[in-house]
Amino acid sequence: MSPQIGFYSKKELLSRLPFSTTTLWRQCRRGAFPKPVSISPGRVGWEREAADAAIAALVTDARSEDGENEEAVR
């Protein structure tokens, strides 16, 4: 039996992100965030594994930027 792929709805995904719907779509177009997949007519979702990895990368980037800013202040 193969594992099932889980999906985030746009609402679920946005509750985990520090930006708006417009920015989410912009990030998807730029390739900075995974593009949604069609689940059914008129409904899209983001694969949980890919979205979670992208969110982790955002957190890592933000933390490294904070570290650089702290060093600049010293």
Q: What is the pLDDT of residues 37-62, one digit of tens each?
A: 999 999 999 999 999 999 999 888 88
Q: What is the pLDDT of residue 65?
A: 79
Range of the domain at 22: 7-73
> Is residue 63 a part of any domain in this protein?
yes
The number of folded domains in the chain is 1
pTM of the model: 0.74
> Is residue 2 a part of any domain in this protein?
no
Q: Which tokens go with 44?
A: 């899209």
Q: What angle do CA 10, 4, 35 make, to 5 degrees?
A: 35
Nearest to 44 by CA among 12, 4, 2, 3: 12
Residue with tokens 């792929």: 5
> Is residue 35 a part of any domain in this protein?
yes
Distance, CA of 1 to CA of 24 (rounded, Å): 34
Q: What angle do CA 22, 24, 30 make, to 5 degrees?
A: 105
